[in-house]
Structure 1
């Protein structure tokens, strides 16, 4: 990890801790789902020496943030074994990560890096940069943000990519 990437990772970690997610800096075994990163009991374990892409922190944190607290506390690496949660899936985690990327003022390539998203990073980057916010409606349905022109969004509410809540409460 370059010194720039390490600085970005530490900035992201500070943000995640500020919003109430548990982040532990420690050695992460090589069998983790992502290099240098592991979800453990509703928090993140991060090995900065092995983390190639700091944006992965945002996406994995998104998985924790978009589920209710009782589900969040049980999450480990095997997210495919997670119970189905309405508006708490992959696309909402991606939308949450984009909102966090914008909030932190990071370049979109930090989140949508070429080493991730199963070869679809460039397409996702283009969609979000153009304002095609896949998953934002799920975040709004979960009460985490508002959408412009959406009937359920009160006037003056935070509009995506701004967030009303960083961690889902219900």
Structure 2
């Protein structure tokens, strides 16, 4: 069975389609994350080179936390050389946690030992303890609500998302 046909990858691809992130299968050269690259409003996947399917959710997180205007520029020379910022990186990490939680995938699927500059266990530990690094940023982006605001508004708190893509 190819990687594309695994249950977890099918689940991720269906989710990304539902929230409006296009996935395009194509042959890729050397990329920062093996088998993955980002383009204008899309993720390119080379299943022959993809090592960690959970990285798909992390890359989707980068698109999701980027403004809709800037999402169109991803993968072009018009995107800021500072993209993604450190704040956007933190937001993408937390977004990918919320997505894994939503899809009921084990956190190790996204936060595998060979990623996140050897901080995978630390991230899993923090998120499992409800220490959501970057939550104020995701809330500011309009994607979710922290406990206090969720309670005031009678809505679900993070890790529930109010929406998956930033305006």
Could you tell me whether the CA contact under 8 Å between 1:66 and 1:168 is conserved in 2?
A: yes
State the SS of the aligned residue for 1:149: helix
Corresponding position of 1:97: 96
Corresponding position of 1:139: 138
Q: How many residues align?
A: 166
When normalised by structure 2's length, the TM-score is 0.88
Distance of aligned partners of 1:84 and 1:24 in 2 relative to their CA distance in 1, 3 Å threshold: closer
Structure-to-structure mapping, 1:42-81, within 5 angstroms: 42-76=41-75, 81=81
Report how far residue 136 of structure 1 moved.
Answer: 1.5
In structure 1, what is the Cα distance between the partners aligned to 2:54 and 2:99? 10
Report how far residue 6 of structure 1 moved.
Answer: 3.3
State the SS of the aligned residue for 1:50: coil
Distance of aligned partners of 1:2 and 1:135 in 2 relative to their CA distance in 1, 3 Å threshold: farther
Could you tell me whether the CA contact under 8 Å between 2:91 and 2:137 is conserved in 1?
A: yes
When normalised by structure 1's length, the TM-score is 0.87
Structure 1: runs of 5+ lacking an equivalent: none
After superposition, the C-alpha distances for 1:43-80 in whole angstroms (9 at most, x for unaligned) are 10011221111110111110100111001111129988
Structure-to-structure mapping, 1:1-170, within 5 angstroms: 6-29=6-29, 31-76=30-75, 81-82=81-82, 89-150=88-149, 154-169=152-167
Provide the aligned C-alpha RMSD in A.
Answer: 2.6
